Amino acid sequence: MKKTPTAVLLATALAAAGAPAQAQVFGQFTPAEILPVNAHLFGAYLDVSENVVGLLGQLRLSFYPGVDFGFQGGLDRVDAATGNRTTVKLGGDVRFATAHAGEASPVDVLVGGALGVATGDDYHVFTVGPSAVASRSFSFSPNASVAPYAGLMLAFTNFDSGPTSSTDFSIPLRLGAELKAMPGLRLGAELQLRLGDDFSDRVGFSAGVNLPF
């Protein structure tokens, strides 16, 4: 039987160890609040984790009551065992309001789905899956409020880099809050916990601004 060359085994091991550590799970960066019909929102965020520093932008739109959708795009600088890389990320998501905070429900609830692609030198990552977010807004002045939120996704990921090609299932959790400091300006931050993820850093953090217009 033909033996596998040591160099091939070493390259495969390095590729597996240096799997791309993705920052944000695609979708949202906001609480469970659907945009009004014909409203728009632009967001810009800084993503950091152990092996990733990235910038991501988002545009959200709504053309139908109780439904909005968004497009995301940005760049990551990934520190992998096989070398540093710059990756391009593109994604999209759609959300549906299923409950509103009030007498019938203590929180706002959204369900939807998201997909995202991250591509760079000799590797590609594709992620897709359903998601859900719950939040509750607390006002402390006529023009200011804070909305803590929690979200999760059932993420199915395909990873392809050099000799390595595999799939993964994980449950990324998002814990964050959005502060409406003044009309037209919202500040947000979230912690991301990626349970069962073989390709990403286990913990990530994002912060940025949302600008409705």
Residues 162-169 have a mean pLDDT of 80
What average pLDDT does the structure give for the chain?
A: 83
What's residue 2's pLDDT? Answer: 42
What's residue 163's pLDDT? Answer: 74
Q: Per-residue pLDDT for 191 more than 60?
A: yes
The CA distance from 53 to 56, in Å, is 10
What's residue 14's pLDDT? Answer: 32
**Single pTM value for the model:** 0.81
Q: Is 84 left (phi over 0), alpha (psi -120 to 50) or beta?
A: beta
List the domains of the chain with CATH numbers.
20-212 (2.40.128.100)
What is the DSSP code string of 82-146? TEEEEEEEEEEEEEEEEE-SSSS-SSEEEEEEEEEEEEETTEEEEEEEEEEEEE--EEEETTEEE
Q: Check residues 123 and 77 and name the one with the higher pLDDT.
A: 77
Give the pLDDT band (50/70/90) at residue 204. confident
The one-letter code for the residue type at 73 is G
Residues 101-117 have a mean pLDDT of 93
